Amino acid sequence: MYFSEQLKKFYTFFESKSWIFNFFIGLACSLVVILLDVTDNQEYQFSFFYMFPIGFTTWFAGRYFGGLLALICSFAWAIDNHTHLSLALIWNTFSTIGVFLTISILVSKVKNMWESEHQQSRNDFLTGVFNARAFQEILIREINRLDHNGIPFSLAYIDLDNFKEVNDRFGHTQGDQLLKLITRSLIDSLRKSDVIARMGGDEFVVLLPGTNLMIVQDVLNKMQNRLQKVLRGDRWQVTCSIGVVTCLAKPLNYDELISMADDLMYRVKQNGKNNIQFAQYPPA
């Protein structure tokens, strides 16, 4: 457990740095290997160790800079292992370039596959927005950010009214199309900094960073009006019940905050649907 936590911190640290920083870290590590290779008088071979800075640079600085470092390491290894120009030098140099570039290409492929798999595991398969698991991570970070710097945020819990009737009357294919339409409307009507997730079924949540009660009321009312126009234009008899909590202080945990927004949404349901109820935490 300790090792995995340290590895995660290591990964997060370098992911947060620029490609320039990571390239020079990889270059510095390569120079260490080159220095060991040069001072060893051929008793030990260090070519194996070149793969680590090449792989690191490819992963954290990109494939082009990983490839550049592979070329640098190839020429350094070839020059150190041959004292005069010969056919053997040319052959070994190009062979080493091929090996080191292959390492860089393979690392790049693995990273692309990993990022694709990671992205799919965090997104809802139907609408493309975040899923509940990914949203939990994002919201927890926002809660901790509020605790550290005092910047408020709001959470909106959205439930579609009468959505079940769409599935019953028109089938799940039409229901899926409606969910995609609503998702597109949410994306178009909210700010770029806002985070949308589908919690499952016909329920969505929206995180609105840096919003107090007055700001979130303006944003959510505009969002609801746009959504209603879209749904009326497509003749869907569907509306939205929305509960919104604005946090000015850190709530106890993620579940408590979701529960507060969910309870507000159900109050809207009980009072006739198609409305928004706002609340502030802690209460004024």
Mean pLDDT across the stretch 117-137?
Answer: 85
Residue 244 burial class via C-beta count within 10 angstroms: exposed 0-12, middle 13-18, buried 19 and up: buried
Confidence of residue 24 (pLDDT cuts 50, 70, 90): very high
Q: With a cut of 90, say whether residue 1 has pLDDT above it.
A: no
pLDDT score recorded for residue 89 = 72
**126 within 8 A of 176, measured Cβ to Cβ:** yes
pLDDT score recorded for residue 258 = 93
Ramachandran region of residue 107, left (φ > 0), alpha (ψ -120 to 50) or beta? alpha
Distance CA 247, CA 217 (A): 13
Q: Higher model confidence: residue 159 or residue 16?
A: 159
Distance CA 149, CA 134 (A): 23
Query: In terms of Cα–Cα distance, which of 217, 182, 199, 215 is closest to 255?
Result: 199
Residue 280 burial class via C-beta count within 10 angstroms: exposed 0-12, middle 13-18, buried 19 and up: middle
Q: What percent of the chain has pLDDT over 70?
A: 93
Predicted model pTM: 0.66
pLDDT score recorded for residue 241 = 94
Distance CA 260, CA 237 (A): 27
For the chain, the average pLDDT equals 87
Mean pLDDT across the stretch 129-140?
Answer: 92
* Range scoring the smallest mean pLDDT among 81-85, 144-148, 257-261: 81-85
Strand partners, 244: 156, 278
Per-residue tokens: 14: 């370098």
**221 within 8 A of 239, measured Cβ to Cβ:** no
Q: With a cut of 70, say whether residue 119 has pLDDT above it.
A: no
Distance CA 162, CA 240 (A): 9
Distance CA 212, CA 154 (A): 7
* Domain extent listing, the chain: 2-122, 132-281
Distance CA 107, CA 104 (A): 5
pLDDT score recorded for residue 257 = 92
Pick the CATH number of 132-281 from 3.40.50.10420, 3.30.70.270, 3.40.50.410, 3.40.50.10700: 3.30.70.270
Ramachandran region of residue 209, left (φ > 0), alpha (ψ -120 to 50) or beta? beta
pLDDT score recorded for residue 85 = 61
DSSP string, 164-215: HHHHHHH-HHHHHHHHHHHHHHHHHHS-TT-EEEEEETTEEEEEEET--HHH
Confidence of residue 44 (pLDDT cuts 50, 70, 90): low
Residue 128 DSSP SS3: coil
Q: Higher model confidence: residue 23 or residue 251?
A: 23
The Cα-based distances of 188 to 181, 183, 184, 194 in angstroms read: 11, 9, 6, 11
pLDDT score recorded for residue 40 = 64
Q: Report pLDDT digits (tens) over 77-113.
A: 777 665 566 677 777 778 888 889 999 999 999 888 8
**239 within 8 A of 228, measured Cβ to Cβ:** yes
Mean pLDDT across the stretch 30-43?
Answer: 78
Mean pLDDT across the stretch 170-197?
Answer: 91
